[in-house]
C-alpha cells in the first residue's frame, strides 16, 4: 500500500491507523500489506487491514480525522488536496482501518 513519507512516519508513531483511497483497487480485510514509498519501492513495514467501508468524503468525523493522523478537518482537507488535486465532499471513497504489524525497532534507528 502506497504512502507518503510523512504518513509512514505517522504510522510508525501510531498516529495514523486509517486511510482513504479513491482507487477502485480493493485491499482485503484480514490481509497484510507491505508499505510502499513509491510504486516500486517497498519497505519492510507491514500493516494489517482490519476494516474496509465506503464513505462520502465530506462525512469524515473528527475522530476519523485523528485516525488519519491529523488534528483538524482543515488540515486533512489540505493534505487531501495536495495528494489528490481537489476536495469533493460528495465523492465516495474507500476507508481502510489498519494496524502496524510486528513493528521493528530497527526501522526507527535506520531512519526508514
Structural domain boundaries of the chain? Answer: 5-102
pLDDT band at 24 (very low <50, low <70, confident <90, very high): confident
Residue-by-residue DSSP string for 17-30: -EEEE--S--PPTT
Q: Which CATH number fits domain 5-102: 3.40.50.880, 3.10.400.10, 1.10.390.10, 3.40.50.1980?
A: 3.10.400.10
Residue 61: pLDDT above 60?
Answer: yes
Residue 111: pLDDT above 80?
Answer: no
Contacts of 39 (CB under 8 A, 6+ apart): 2
Alpha-helical segments (H) within 26-72 = 62-67
Q: Do the strands 92-101 and 18-21 form a parallel or antiparallel pair, or are they unpaired?
A: antiparallel
Grid cell listed for 102: 510486528
Which of 2-6, 22-26, 103-107 has the largest mean confidence? 2-6
Residue 106: pLDDT above 90?
Answer: no
Confidence (pLDDT) at 112: 42
Amino acid at each position: 500500500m502506497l504512502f507518503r513519507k510523512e504518513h509512514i512516519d505517522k504510522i510508525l508513531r501510531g498516529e495514523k491507523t486509517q486511510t482513504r483511497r479513491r482507487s477502485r483497487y480493493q485491499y482485503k480485510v484480514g490481509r497484510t500489506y507491505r508499505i510502499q514509498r513509491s510504486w516500486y519501492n517497498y519497505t519492510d513495514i507491514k500493516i494489517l487491514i482490519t476494516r474496509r467501508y465506503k464513505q462520502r468524503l465530506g462525512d469524515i468525523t473528527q475522530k476519523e480525522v485523528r485516525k488519519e493522523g491529523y488534528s483538524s478537518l482543515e488540515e486533512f482537507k489540505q493534505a487531501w488536496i495536495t495528494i489528490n488535486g481537489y476536495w469533493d465532499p460528495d465523492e465516495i471513497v474507500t476507508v481502510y482501518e489498519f494496524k502496524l504489524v510486528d513493528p521493528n525497532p530497527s526501522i526507527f534507528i535506520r531512519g526508514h
